[in-house]
Amino acid sequence: MSSSEKSIGIPLIGDKFPEMEVKTTHGMIKLPDDANEGGKWWFILFSHPGDFTPVCTTEFVAFAKRNKQFQELKCRLIGLSIDQVFSHIKWAEWIKENLKVEIPFPIIADHGQVSQTLGMIHPGKGSNTVRAVFLVDPNGIIRLILYYPQELGRNMDEILRIVKAIQIADREKVAMPANWPNNELLGDEVIIPPASDIKTAEENPKKYDCYDWWFCHKKL
């Protein structure tokens, strides 16, 4: 971590999401409390470099088309860029009128403070924000942080997969293999945490399929 990151205090995975009140296209919102709704909901805060730009437009359409799937996972979407709220509103109107897609989630109008707090400012790009993704659980804890360069649009199906996988890992107390649910070795099975004592190491191969005592897996 650089000295600048330390001085700014950029949050990390496992940290509490910083408390803040933000102006959005849906009105004022207090984060993380309003988004979590009393510990009931997850939320994804994602930033984009700017309104009325091609890659960001494709991303917003992609997020909007998957909003119902995120909602089914009890996960809200919240966008952000350093643009004024009227710019967000006009851009959302343009997307609806020209691309026939309605943006159902709020977009934060940031003056730079939120982006600075979360480390979203793109190095060497002035006030533009990176394509950041923060996944926050119902307890307000940051569970995942992703950063994409300005020229690369995000894969929304991967972000959906992340939410599903982390929720299952939490609920079942398991770990998820690479490319889950299409892992090359395990398919859609999940990984049992490695034994931390001799008794468990001896018992796990009797209860689960195992490559070895430290590598056991099961079906959900």
Active site residue 56: yes
Q: Tell me which of 56, 75, 210, 216 is the catalytic residue.
A: 56
User: Strand 75-81 and strand 42-47: pairing?
Assistant: parallel
- Helices 156-172 and 54-65 cross at an angle (nearest 10°) of 40
Amino acid letter, residue 102: E
Which of 34, 8, 32 has its CA nearest to residue 135? 32
Asked if 172 and 190 count as a contact pair (C-beta separation under 8 A), the reply is yes
Rg (CA), the chain: 20
Dihedral of alpha carbons 52, 56, 62, 68, sign: negative
Kindly list the catalytic residues.
56
